[in-house]
Amino acid sequence: MVTISQAANKTGLSVKSIRHYEEIKLIDTPPRDESGYRFYPDSLLKQLHFIVNAKQAGFNLQECKILLALSENEHRSSKNVKEIALQKIEEIEARIKQQQLLVQQLKKITKQCPGDQQSECAIIDAFSVDQ
């Protein structure tokens, strides 16, 4: 039975984050003591650890919620979980490709810029083009 700051220390989350997860109903409502202080039994610590791991893997909080529900559902099929993961992989790969394109174009423009004390600059020129 740990306090919120102890739960934060154990999970690497901030106190703010833990309260936030409660507010958006990502985790179960923690019990309180007589003076209103939250405390965190193991079951809640497990939920928090799960969220930390899923977040680190690239899932946002809404996705964490779905995954956490699946993790606690005895009758889940791993197919559902795998679909979500594969979708996330595709999503990240798409983002990567887009950023690679971006960086490629930016490099091309940047190479043409002399980078000296003169004002003439291919980067500025490229951004000044209409359309």
Please state, in angstroms and rounded to a whole number, the distance separating the CA atoms of residues 16 and 3: 13
* Choice from 15, 50, 61, 63 touching its own copies (CB under 8 A): 50
Q: Which does 108 bind (CB under 5 to 8 A by kind): its own copies, DNA, none?
A: none
Q: Following DSSP, what letter does each residue of 44-59 receive, concatenated?
A: HHHHHHHHHHHHHTT-
Helices (H), 1-77: 4-11, 15-23, 42-56, 61-71
Question: What SS3 class is residue 38?
Answer: strand
Binding site for its own copies (CB under 8 A): 45-46, 49-50, 53-54, 57-58, 67, 70-71, 73-79, 81-83, 85-86, 88-89, 92-93, 95-96, 99-100, 102-103, 105-107, 109-110, 113-124, 126-131
Task: Give the footprint of DNA on this chain (CB under 7 A).
Answer: 3-6, 14-17, 19-20, 32-38, 55, 60-62
